Amino acid sequence: MTHILIVYGTTDGHTAKVTQVLAEDLRALRCSVDIVDSAGMIHRLSPEGYDGVIVAASVHIGDYQRSVARWARTHAAMLNHMPTAFLSVCLAVLEQNAKTRREVANILERFFARTGWRPPIAKPIAGAVRYTRYGWLKRLMMKRIVGKAGGGTDTTRDYEYTDWNDLRAFAGEFARQVTTTEAIAGGVR
């Protein structure tokens, strides 16, 4: 059985939901999956023994969670020699313009340069806006940001922009990649 580790960082909880859905999809593909929140005591958790690793983090104020960066930096040497992917959960994905795409690419590049990890797959994923859970100041700021991106601005409700079918397709692609790599390596971990 293929063993996959998912490490994530989340601020408002949506990235945790993304990883839960991803894990369910991978398990349906006969993978064994462990999910770990980077905010816990995971610095000792090594990717050793896993056939593949997916790291998911959300962008807030132009950066990812520090705990995710710390874990990736600690294990970069090992991560660079196995099937890995990075999921960047970001509302800027909603904006379909070159300037925004460059900004997202720059955020990713800074993260990879800082950690020393270069995953073969870096996938942007649209996140969620949870207006009903924000304080008044954050709700006001998010309304402005999301409105600029063309998203919903009714602050009496929450919005999910994640393309769950695309995430499901990614799970299938990643599982195939890990299984193929494992078969080529003769199943040696």
pLDDT tens digit sequence for 66-97: 999 999 999 999 999 999 999 999 988 888 78
pLDDT beyond 90 at 100: no
DSSP letter assigned to residue 11 = S
Which residue's structure tokens are 């720059």? 106
List the Cα angle 2/67/122 in 5-degree steps: 55
In percent, the amount of the chain with pLDDT more than 90 equals: 74
Q: Which of 186, 182, 184, 170 is nearest to 3 (CA)?
A: 182
Neighbours of 44 (CB within 10 A): 7
Q: What is the pLDDT of residue 5?
A: 97
Q: What is the pLDDT of residue 189?
A: 45
Report field, pTM of the whole predicted structure over 0.85: yes
Higher pLDDT, 130 or 40: 130
pLDDT beyond 60 at 187: no
C-beta separation of 69 from 40 below 8 A: no
pLDDT beyond 80 at 42: no
Superfamily holding 2-127+162-184: Flavodoxin domain (3.40.50.360)
Q: What are phi and psi of 115, to 5 degrees?
A: -95, -25
Domain ranges for the chain, please list them. Answer: 2-127+162-184, 128-161
pLDDT beyond 70 at 145: yes
**Residues written for the chain:** 189
The bridge status of strand 52-58 relative to strand 121-125 is unpaired
94 three-state secondary structure? helix
